[in-house]
Amino acid sequence: MIDRILADLNRTEGIKGSMVVGKDGLVIAAQLPSNIDSELVGAMASAAFGAAERTAAEIGQGKLEQAMIESEFGKTLMTDAGEGILVVLTDAKVNLGLIRISMKRAAEKIKNAF
């Protein structure tokens, strides 16, 4: 079920891969480029998302909706998906609005799939 949601999401232009990890970093499902260590990236995503969540709370900005790591060759977007985190890897130049909408839809479906 979650695999199918990720496969659909990966068809969005600019998305290179996606995964769902538990808040503790456990990889629930992953459809990433083969050169990426999903377990390690899952663990890192949970640490990054957790740290962003804690930072937002500490500075009084409320519940974290999305975190983004913007790098030279692409972006990593992380969004809350209930029991898990939806992680999406994109190309550097992408239509972020479209990707965010796709992620929001996927995250809702993932919440129901747990």
Partner 1 sequence: MKVAVYGAGNQELYVNKLRLPETYGGAPPYGGSRMAIEFAKAGHEVYLAEPNRNMLTDEMWKVVEDAGVKVVSDDIEAAKNAEIAILFTPFGKKTFQIAKNILPYLPQNAVIANTCTVSPIVLYSMLEVDLRTKRKDVGITSMHPAAVPGTPQHGHYVISGKATDGTCYATEEQVNKCVELAESAGKKAYVVPADVSSTVADMGSLVTAVALAGVLDYYTVGKKIINAPEKMIEKQIIMTLQTMASLVETSGVKGLLKALNPELLIRSASSMHLLKDQKDLDAALEILSNLNDDLKKEMENAEIKPTTLVAAQSLVKELETLMGGAAAKGAIKRSMRKLFE
Binding status of residue 65 toward partner 1 by CB under 8 A:
no
Rounded Cα distance, 97 and 114, in Å: 26
Residues near 92 by beta carbon (within 8 Å), at least 6 away in sequence: 71, 72, 73, 74, 75
Residues near 11 by beta carbon (within 8 Å), at least 6 away in sequence: none
Stretch that binds partner 1, among 6-14, 24-32, 86-94, 98-106 (CB under 8 A): 24-32
Binding status of residue 74 toward partner 1 by CB under 8 A:
no
Residue 34 CB, nearest approach to partner 1 (Å): 20
For partner 1, the binding residue among 6, 19, 28, 78 (CB under 8 A) is: 28
